[in-house]
Copies of this chain bind each other. A is one copy, B any other.
Amino acid sequence: MITAEQTIDEQERFRAGDTRILARYLTRVENHAAGMEEVLADLYRHTGQAWRVGFTGPPGAGKSTLVNQATLRYRRSELSVGVVAFDPTSPFTGGALLGDRIRMEKLTLDPGVFIRSMATRGQLGGLAVAVDEACDLMDAFGKDRVLIETVGVGQSELEVAHSADTTVVVLVPQSGDSIQAMKAGLMEIADIFVLNKSDRDGADRAYRELTSIVQMKHSPEGWMPPVLKTTAEKGEGVDELLETIQTHRRHLTETGLLETRRKSRIASKVQRLVEDAIRKDLWRSDRDTRRRDDLDHTRSPYDLAKDLVNDFYREISDERR
């Protein structure tokens, strides 16, 4: 049980830059711990300062290396960095898969960098929420840049765009990669394309292929996603990437699109919060049991659903009477 005083004390330490409290809050967000909504509500007014950059793309594209290199360079410019990595829970490890993170260990000794792998148990979608809240925490903590990295599979790939101000889609020169990215919906969310491992054979051809696909894209926001070449392992092209992120930031800020994008992000968050609260009321009591048990092949799930909705509405009105 957390008392109100503890909460206030924790929040003061958080605001004063105590990373232990940041870590504690991140764990609570990951576990969907009770009481965190109030903390997030209180900290909300301190958010909005950090620039959030999402890195997404297929597995093996080198996203971790790129995030690592970007972090090193931001630190040289004395910008503080938070890194949030999506990691689906695996039954093998019982938590986040830390393999890719090991390479970043050196960075974790730097107090200006905070790295966190996020994993959630339970339903799809829960992870995206946790990542979004983790970004808010890093932001309220005072990080200048928050880098979000997906594992490159599952819905995380597309959802990262909801949390990011700038979305970087990382591809490699591999036959058909651009086509697959197009299929996956990555074209729609990309603000910047990176062709990583561009010292490989076929990089020029892949670059031309990708560029021609990108040029077909409509750019209603007046921003045509640039295609950059990097070789993250050698640090090549990373400076140009960071400059392009900065250019994108200026574009969003000057056109007022930033405000629109953030507003729409918050509107989605409100929607999610409302629906979560209602869902909690909805599936308490015996309705959840009925949903699971009142099933047979004569009665359709559509009819059962109708009953349950009516039952819920009746309960709500009875409670208010």
Contacts and interface: CB of A to CB of B under 8 A. Distances in A.
Contacts of A12: none
Contacts of A316: 313, 316-317
Please tell me how many copies of the chain the complex holds.
Answer: 2
Contacts of A217: 91-92
A183 B65 CA distance: 17
A270 B153 contact: no
Interface in A152-182: 152-155, 157-159, 176, 179-180, 182
Contact of A266 (B37, B91, B180, B301): B301
A155 B270 contact: no
A38 B180 CA distance: 37
A interface majority secondary structure: helix
A179 B152 CA distance: 12
Interface in A235-276: 263-264, 266-267, 269-271, 273-275
A35 interface: no
A312 interface: yes
Contacts of A303: 41
A54 interface: no
A270 B304 contact: yes
A179 B282 CA distance: 39
A264 B320 CA distance: 33
19 contacts: A37-B302, A38-B302, A41-B303, A45-B298, A58-B59, A59-B176, A88-B185, A90-B182, A92-B182, A92-B217, A153-B185, A154-B154, A154-B157, A270-B301, A274-B282, A277-B305, A277-B309, A278-B278, A314-B320
